[in-house]
Amino acid sequence: MVELRRAMSFGIPDVALELVLAYIDHPRDRDAVSLVCRSWHRADARTRRHVTIAMSYSTTPAVLARRFPCLLSLKLKSKPRAAMFNLIPRDWGGAAAPWLARISQPSSFDLLRSLHLRRMVVTDPDLSLLAAAKAPLLLSLKLDRCDGFSTHSLSRITSACRKLETLFLEESNIKDHGGEWLHELATNNTALVTLNFYLTELSFSPVDLELLARNCRSLTTLKISDRDISDLVGLFHAATALQDFGGGLFDDESGMAVNKYNNFYFPPSLQCLSLAFMATDEMHVIFPYAAILKKLDLQYALLSTEDHCQLIPRCPNLLVLAVREVVGDRGLEVVAQTCRRLRRLRVERGADDQGGVEDEQGRVSQVGLISIARGCPDLEHLAVHVSDITNTALESIGTYSKNLFDFRLVLLDREATITELPLDNGVRALLRGCTKLGRFSLYLRPGGLSDTGLGYIGECGRNVRYMLLGNVGESDRGLMLFAGGRPNLQKLELRSCCFSERALALAVLQLPSLRYIWVQGYQATPDGSDLAAMVRPFWNIEFISPNSESDADAQVQILAYYSLAGRRTDCPPYIRCIPPS
């Protein structure tokens, strides 16, 4: 029997196999390994370290526990991405309870030390369970854009999990009962490396933060909620290993005789900064550190176009830059000249009112895009909101940005006329030129992309796994051309398109790798009946009607995804599963 087993394992003993598998991490490689034979499947199951479940309803906790009992790290995501734009109803679903209940069972996931929940609903009882079951082992807890819990259960976590190296709460909606949780963390923990409660409204005491910095000598990343940074002087003197700081805020110092931020001290190890409400008169705090900065986030700053042109030339080593549109084409020109090694650039949308709060020069167009494409050849991630665009700009990106992996363009609706539409040729050139592109997002306006252009996307975006398309195409023909190009899309999001329900259903059937689709804004039937065309095994279809609580102009949504768990049982009444049981 032993001979037979060894023969089936190609002569490799189990122990050796597991040692080799320890070097294989990529999920697709692991997938291939697990399909070789039963013995390799078991070896993979025993040695798989991390699993990401992109859609929590695609499987069940029991299935996960059976398949990968020895997991070290788990990431779960649930609500559609659109939840970050307030488009998903609050009670849509995404409860983490079943997962945390299973994880907290005795002899379950004994090796789990890292948990990341993104866009899920987590309650206080859920977290208390987790704290009680996993406290000694838990090294990393990320509650990322989650909601449903309070600082009470956070205190349980921070007092019980004393080995915590990462606590990440960014943009979660947390009920604030005081800063006790931070005090617990500061007094019980010496291992913390990352603490992030950025974009939460949690209150805290700077004294606790300073204590934390003194006790945790390895504290490298600290991102906090709003607090005047002049209260944090003690913190910055104590946090000698700090590399990444975000949050805080500035008081309005314009017109003050002596600026209280003069000679502000940040630790010299600082490489990444995100400072909120930093205005022209406070910008100088960055100057002594600008030359070594690798990451700069000015999305929540109060700078003018000219300010950007003054600040950015001091930061030649930037790898990551995030700004709002106020940077302007002028500012982007400066970025292109200075930040030659830039890898990630985000130009977020600014305010819409003219001349009020934002700069008149603060608009980005094809001019800025072309500068960036030419000046920053290492660009991997580019997300921009533009007020004007041409095919040439997109062609430039296709020509110069050869390392681009993630491209996102939103054409704002400020200008009545755009210089050059449709963008068919530019889009084709970009997709053909950026061969490494894996994520592609294009949000235009009617007339921005013809049916032919939409066909180009299907045909040319071969390696793209995720797409968000808005206001593209002119008719169902465009959608069919797109699907007919057989792109290897895994995840598709469509918004504000003119396609019929039936055409959508038929297109889905043609996309060979599609496992997830979300649509809002299309020619819907009153009850989603045309979606019957895409009914197939293991394919969950949710037809989400706007309920009475939601916005007046909220529109119907389709959410469909592969699932081994069958239809979900926690749908609110305004969600219709197709086919109805």
Partner 1 sequence: MVKEEKESEQQQLEISLKSATPHNRSTEVPMSTPQASKSQLTIFYGGSVCVYDAVPPEKAQAIMLIAAATAAASATKPPAVNSNPIPLITGPVTSASPPLTRSPSFQSSSAAAAQAQIAANPNSSLCKLQAELPLARRNSLLQFMEKRRNRIVSKAPYAVEKSSDGKEMSVLELKPQVA
The dihedral through the CA atoms of 288, 294, 300, 304 has a sign that is positive
| Distance in Å, CB of 383 to partner 1, minimum | 5
| Distance in Å, CB of 280 to partner 1, minimum | 14
Judged by CB, which is closer to partner 1: 211, or 556?
556
Judged by CB, which is closer to partner 1: 166, or 471?
471
CA distance 139 to 160: 12
CA distance 61 to 333: 50
Judged by CB, which is closer to partner 1: 210, or 451?
451
CA distance 483 to 466: 14
Question: CB within 8 A of 461, min separation 6: which ones?
Answer: 431, 437, 440, 467, 487, 489
| Distance in Å, CB of 328 to partner 1, minimum | 18
Structure-block tokens of residue 524? 């819907």
CA distance 436 to 398: 11
Range list of β-strands (E), 400-532 = 406-411, 439-443, 466-470, 491-495, 516-520
Report strand pairing: 516-520 vs 539-544: unpaired
Identify any residues that bridge with 519 across adjacent strands, giving them in sequence order. Answer: 494, 558
CA distance 518 to 501: 13
Judged by CB, which is closer to partner 1: 183, or 363?
363
Task: Give the number of other Cβ atoms within 10 Å of residue 252's Cβ.
Answer: 11
DSSP for 459-489, written as a single string: HH-TT--EEEEES--SSHHHHHHHHHT----
The dihedral through the CA atoms of 355, 359, 364, 367 has a sign that is positive
Judged by CB, which is closer to partner 1: 214, or 408?
408
| Distance in Å, CB of 201 to partner 1, minimum | 9
Instruction: State CA 162 to chain mean position distance.
Output: 28
Question: CB within 8 A of 152, min separation 6: which ones?
Answer: 124, 177
| Distance in Å, CB of 87 to partner 1, minimum | 6
Judged by CB, which is closer to partner 1: 61, or 248?
248
| Distance in Å, CB of 415 to partner 1, minimum | 13
| Distance in Å, CB of 317 to partner 1, minimum | 26
| Distance in Å, CB of 11 to partner 1, minimum | 51
Burial class of 111 by CB neighbour count within 10 A (0 to 12, 13 to 18, 19+) = exposed
Instruction: State CA 370 to chain mean position distance.
Output: 26
Judged by CB, which is closer to partner 1: 171, or 176?
171
| Distance in Å, CB of 181 to partner 1, minimum | 22
CA distance 135 to 131: 5
Q: What angle do CA 541, 547, 552 make, to 5 degrees?
A: 120
Judged by CB, which is closer to partner 1: 344, or 385?
385
Judged by CB, which is closer to partner 1: 49, or 477?
477
Residue tagged 């800063």 (tokens): 179
CA distance 373 to 445: 23
Judged by CB, which is closer to partner 1: 137, or 498?
498
Judged by CB, which is closer to partner 1: 83, or 242?
83
The dihedral through the CA atoms of 310, 313, 318, 323 has a sign that is positive
| Distance in Å, CB of 530 to partner 1, minimum | 6
Judged by CB, which is closer to partner 1: 30, or 428?
428
Distances (CA, A) of 174 to 162, 186, 203, 206, 299: 21, 19, 11, 19, 23
With beta carbons less than 8 A apart as the criterion, state whether 458 and 489 touch: no
* Three-state SS letters, 11-53: CCCHHHHHHHHCCCCCHHHHHHHHCCCHHHHHHHHHHCCEEEE
Instruction: State CA 417 to chain mean position distance.
Output: 32
| Distance in Å, CB of 480 to partner 1, minimum | 6
Task: Give the number of other Cβ atoms within 10 Å of residue 578's Cβ.
Answer: 21
CA distance 63 to 205: 43
CA distance 158 to 154: 6
Judged by CB, which is closer to partner 1: 91, or 180?
91
| Distance in Å, CB of 131 to partner 1, minimum | 28
Judged by CB, which is closer to partner 1: 21, or 483?
483
| Distance in Å, CB of 445 to partner 1, minimum | 8
With beta carbons less than 8 A apart as the criterion, state whether 442 and 468 touch: yes
Judged by CB, which is closer to partner 1: 186, or 384?
384
| Distance in Å, CB of 452 to partner 1, minimum | 7
| Distance in Å, CB of 520 to partner 1, minimum | 7
